[in-house]
Amino acid sequence: MRRSVVLGAGHFLPEKCLTNADMALIVDTTDEWIVERTGIRQRHIASEGETTSMLATRAAQAALADAGIDANSIDLIVLATATPDHTFPSTATQVQAALGITGGAAFDVHAVCSGFVYALTTADNFLKAGSAQRALVIGAETFSRILDWTDRTTCVLFGDGAGAVVLEAQDGQGTNADSGVLCTHLRSDGRHLDKLYVDGGPSATKTTGHLRMEGKEVFRHAVTNLAETVEEAFKRAGITAADVQWFVPHQANRRIIDATAKKLGIDPAHVVITVDQHGNTSAASIPLALSVAWHDGRIRKGDLVLIEAMGGGFTWGSALIRW
């Protein structure tokens, strides 16, 4: 059985960083409110002219260096973003060009905060089918560009950044002991557009628009949907929470992460948290957290890692990876 094995991971964050104290100078908020309700302490913000493809390229370069492979051996780039450089072409093709790759295929996937789980699943299926041999899977966002900076209920929550992993198709035994992606689960339910959306777009308004969210409603659905998708992964793999070394959830809100972990009986000591440092970076949050935990030595070769996310659409999903 072919498996998509992780060869390396990398990430990139813009230099500019806004603390909660900085946010309190922009909107009517406090450090106490933001920390208590979300766990966020700071977020990185792309500077003028620093685009999603630039962040993604830096993350991809870091992942390629970590994997110790040449960019030109990549024959698939799947990039998750809801904040592309342009309406078209895809941001993935811009990254492909910046990396000097002229072969293979590159395209974007769009599932907002679940984007990385969708991108990883897509790449995994290409590799397993033999349609590609080595893939770059990237999550990259510049949400700062679509925030309404006068709306305190949303602008304090998000940040910019990018993360990437390199996957390679290798032969496995078809058991949980294999290295690589062991299983993936994707879900969506399009009835919930009004709860989390951007009020613009090329076809609807010919504008970019701003992010709008009914936070409480999203929170409620998130805990239920995330628990469901993780339980599905456990069931499919025939494992329990105790078998997983690291839970790397989408980093939207510390309270969502804690509530989901509690519901699933996950030990908080096994949960990777970066939302305090990065805010919610949408599709970039999971690969950012994976890269941080890999490079600081928490995630080790052979560890069982579970990722899960939920975002606009609604979309949600999970993946189990033997690192």
> C-beta of 150: minimal distance to ligand UT7 in Å?
12
Three-state DSSP at 165 gives strand
* Residue among 16 and 152 whose Cβ is closer to ligand UT7: 152
- β-partners of residue 19 are 42
Binding flag, residue 166, ligand UT7 (CB under 6 A): no
Q: Which residue has the tokens 């100078």?
A: 25
**Cβ within 8 Å of residue 224, ≥6 positions away:** none
Stretch that binds ligand UT7, among 29-37, 46-54, 90-98, 200-208 (CB under 6 A): 29-37
Asked if 250 is an active-site residue, the reply is: yes
180-188 and 315-322 beta bridge pairing: antiparallel
CA dihedral defined by 253, 254, 255, 259, rounded to 10 degrees?
A: 110
**Residue in 87, 153, 205, 240 binding ligand UT7, rule: CB under 6 A:** 153
191 versus 216: smaller Cβ distance to ligand UT7:
216
List binders of ligand UT7 among 259-278 (CB under 6 A).
none
Asked if 289 interacts with ligand UT7 (CB under 6 A), we say: no
Q: Is 278 a catalytic residue?
A: no
Q: Does 57 bind ligand UT7 (CB under 6 A)?
A: no
Instruction: Name which position in 16, 31, 33, 208 contacts ligand UT7 (CB under 6 A).
Output: 33
By three-state DSSP, how is residue 207 classified? strand
Nearest partner of 46 among 84, 17, 22, judged by Cα: 17
Residues 92 and 60: beta-carbon distance below 8 Å: no
Distance CA 179, CA 304 (A): 9
Using rule CB under 6 A, residue 222 touches ligand UT7: yes
**For 139, which DSSP code?**
E
Per CB under 6 A, contacts with ligand UT7 among 85-124 are: 113
218 binding ligand UT7? (CB under 6 A): yes
Is 113 one of the catalytic residues?
yes
Q: Can you tell me the distance from the alpha carbon of 129 to that of 289, in angstroms, rounded to the nearest whole number?
A: 28
> Looking at beta carbons only, is 206 or 216 nearer to ligand UT7?
216
Which residues form the interface with ligand UT7 (CB under 6 A)?
Answer: 29, 33, 37-38, 113, 152-153, 156, 215-216, 218-219, 222, 252-253, 256, 280, 311
